[in-house]
Chain A
Amino acid sequence: MKKRYITLILAFVMVAALALAGCGTKTPAGGDAGSAAAPPAASGGSEQAGAPGELVATGSQSDLAKDKIVIGGVRSSTGTNAIFEQTAFGPQYKMWVDQLNKDGGIYVKSLDRKVPVELKIYDDGSEISKTTQLYEQLLADEKVDIIIAPVSTAALFAVAPIAQKYGYYMVAAEGGAKELEKYIAQNPNVFSVLGYSETQVPAFVKFAEEQGIESVFCAYIDDLHGTEYWGAAKPALEAIGVEIKGEQSVPLVGGFDANAVINAAKASGADAFLAFTYPDQGIPIALSAIALNYNPKLYLMGPGGSYDFIGGVLWGASGIDPAVGMEGVFGWGGWNEKSSARAAEYSQAFREYWIDKGDFWLNADGTPNADGTVYQDWWGHASYYSVCEIYQQAIENAGALTDEGLIDNALLVEYTKDNSFDTVLNQELRFTNNILLDDMYLGNIGQWQNGTFEVMDVDDRRTADPIYPKPEWPTK
């Protein structure tokens, strides 16, 4: 019997480790980052690539021989982060590369011609140790031309020093955190596009002040994201006189009881309920709110609240139109086809491209969209596609080859620091200390109104009047 208990303990440890592996992918990974690479070289880019200008070898053998540009990346096609590769940046870069190649490839300035693009993407299984190992392989051994960023904030922490060490340029898509600002300062080859607490929390606080919200209850995910958002929101709300009627952390691993969160929030009687959580927590919490008929005056879902498909998941099989079910619910981010002509153009192009390939968005029953609907993320998608545009414009305007015949990443870094970009997000998008300031975004908070995610920022980006208080959850 003793042996059986030893087996049981060993198995339990293995299971716990496996269950917690998912946590590690979404939390800051200082240890991982530290072990992933040696301290970044002060000028990693120029060390490998040489000084800008010296490397433009027009007409050289390497220029003539350059027949493709290899874009490498390590993404999470499997594991807990697969949802992001499947629905966030994944559809953007795949569409971008496909469109580039249909048009003959990407124009490289020094070559004065287009070069076809090849994707070399590895799957890390949502394990950061694999992410770093595979980036080392891509950069040190396989020597791809440029790299795209990994999936999560934690992976960005781990990969940034590797990109810096090998002198690679990297524009991050998913992931963003206040902590990342300091980290980016140490790894200046890395740029970050996605908005986060720094711009979104102040936008919500302004909104709360405008609408006279008197009290809030917050459920926040117990990782970097949740603690950062709530850590920023709590003092800011208190400063404008909003009473904090309750707060609860929510575990990253599933299996928690969302009813407990909603019962506590309901008992608090707060005006606003804030769920600073990922979809994996936000969806069960919202389903509990519906089942327990919890109707605060304001309901905010964190990441995921801006996804078109959220309505389908929450209301798809209920017989109630998801647009009616989601009426009045808030989420982070915020843009729509009314935000700008450029945004509308991109949104339509995205839908048209994916309309026949909609298998990355599924209906609530798991089947591909029968109605041809291509779902958008009204927070991230504009930012993610802008990342593709930034890469493209940097190469078009500053692209040149190194002695090794690879794209000179140092030139791309320099160009990105010094120039603006014409993107979906902003037609004069410019980085400040390698991140974007508030005025670069189309919006920071949004609200579902009649099936459209309307921008609710208290300024001229707002696309509709707010609905406050939120209407009751509909019933059949």
Chain B
Amino acid sequence: MTLFLTVLINGCILGSVYALVALGLNTQYGVAHILNIAHGEFIILSAFITMTLYAGAGLHPLVALAVAGPIVFAISFVLHRTLYKRVKDMSANIGEFEGNAILVAFGIYFIVQNLMRDKWGSATSGYQFMAFPVRIGPADIAANNLFVLLWAVVICVVYYLFLMRTRTGKAIRAAAQDAGAAALLGVKINTIMALCFAIGGLLAAFAGVLISMKEPFTTVSGMNYTTIAFIVVVLGGLGNVKGAILGGFILGIVGYAVSTYDTGMMFAVFYLIVLVLLIVRPKGLLGR
């Protein structure tokens, strides 16, 4: 029972971060058709911004949500309206655009990573925040992890409600289902595409802020999160918000359960899940 509870709680903590990381990528690919290889770099950029604000200026890490979020949102929006839109205009069809967009994303990945390295160096960075245990039943859980779980869930729920309840959210969902039809119905499709890419960046920034509270990072560790986001997106289903959240939590629980026996096997099991899914159910659990 103790082991079950420990796995469940820690798995949900891990899963909440995975879900948040994947939500951003899912939005960018599901609607804007950009498989953003540089997604993890913006997560790490936000983690460094948070650390600088906390360790350097003594501000609460949550303040970084209001700093890193808008910064990455603005960068992403501008990137879409300049680089990606131009690439899209020059592409013959959506398939060609998706291929070209990956190449652009690779370029951004290297640029952002090297700029961060120049600014923050190559050493592992991190800071202590709420570094004390909380007893839940028989399990000791790090307080910072519970804090991250809480905020990750709040962000996921707010984003889900935004998509379901707001006019912009409906326009995004319409664009995701059929961009051509949505445009005919009056949706400003280019703006929505740019907005989705920027929202993806915003979610990456939020993930980076939360991740920095619970684990250290380096300027080259962004790709780890991009990889996890890919796995979750494949697991949950392309372009499916509920799928990304469900996939994140499933992967988190499986990942922690495997880690209890051997942490080194975690990624091997993740890759196995992806392989099996791509063969058996390529749409993912809740894919369209």
Contact = CB atoms under 8 A, between A and B. Distances in A.
A280 B218 contact: yes
B48 A260 contact: no
Contacts of A318: 127-128, 131
Interface in A325-362: 360-362
Contacts of B131: 287, 290-291, 318
Given A11-B35, A248-B262, A365 B52 contact: yes
Contacts of A309: 123
A316 interface: yes
A279 B124 contact: yes
Given A19-B224, A78-B114, A293-B132, A257 B127 contact: no
B221 A315 contact: no
Contact of B274 (A12, A80, A248, A263): A12
A468 interface: no
Contacts of A7: 35, 95, 98-99, 102
B164 interface: no
Contacts of B230: 8, 11-12, 15
B104 interface: no
Contacts of B217: 254
Given A293-B140, A317-B55, A318-B127, A366 B120 contact: yes
Contacts of B130: 291
Interface of A: 3-5, 7-9, 11-12, 14-16, 18-19, 22, 78-80, 82-83, 86-87, 219, 222, 248-251, 253-261, 263-264, 266, 279-280, 283-284, 287-288, 290-293, 304, 309, 313-318, 360-367, 475
Contacts of B221: 254-255, 280
B120 A251 contact: no
A76 to B, nearest CB: 9
Given A258-B215, A316-B55, A253 B133 contact: no
Given A82-B117, A362-B120, A15 B95 contact: no
A283 B224 contact: no
15 contacts: A8-B35, A18-B37, A248-B261, A250-B264, A253-B227, A254-B224, A257-B14, A266-B140, A283-B124, A290-B131, A291-B143, A292-B140, A313-B123, A364-B127, A366-B119
The 10 closest A-B pairs by CB, nearest first: A249-B264, A260-B259, A365-B55, A291-B142, A317-B55, A365-B56, A82-B122, A255-B224, A317-B127, A366-B120
Interface in B86-130: 95, 98-99, 102, 114, 117, 119-130
A255 B140 contact: no
B263 A366 contact: no
A263 B260 contact: yes
B16 interface: no
A402 to B, nearest CB: 37
A140 to B, nearest CB: 29
B122 A256 contact: no
Given A364-B51, A365-B52, A15 B123 contact: no
B209 interface: no
Contacts of B156: none
Nearest to B217: A254
Nearest to A79: B220
A78 B55 contact: no
Contacts of B274: 12
A3 B95 contact: yes
Contacts of A82: 117, 122, 220
A255 to B, nearest CB: 4
B51 A366 contact: yes
Q: Which of A78, A82, A259 has the most CB of B within 10 A?
A: A259
Nearest to A3: B95
Contacts of A248: 261-264
B238 interface: yes
B256 interface: yes
A5 B129 CA distance: 40
A284 B35 contact: no
Interface stretch (B66-74, B179-187, B199-207, B265-273): B265-273
Given A257-B255, A317-B128, A366-B119, A251 B267 contact: yes
Contacts of B125: 313, 362, 364, 366
Contact of B256 (A9, A257, A313): A257
A260 B99 contact: no
Contacts of B223: 15, 18-19
A412 to B, nearest CB: 31
A296 to B, nearest CB: 15
A78 B117 contact: yes
Given A15-B227, A284-B216, A8 B132 contact: no
Contacts of A256: 259, 263, 266-267
B228 interface: yes
A124 to B, nearest CB: 14
B10 interface: yes
A292 B143 CA distance: 9
Given A16-B271, A284-B216, A315-B128, A9 B278 contact: yes
A365 B51 contact: yes
Given A283-B124, A366-B121, A288 B95 contact: no
A363 B56 CA distance: 9
A372 B238 CA distance: 51
Contacts of A475: 132
B145 interface: yes
Interface in B16-64: 29, 35, 37, 48, 51-52, 54-56
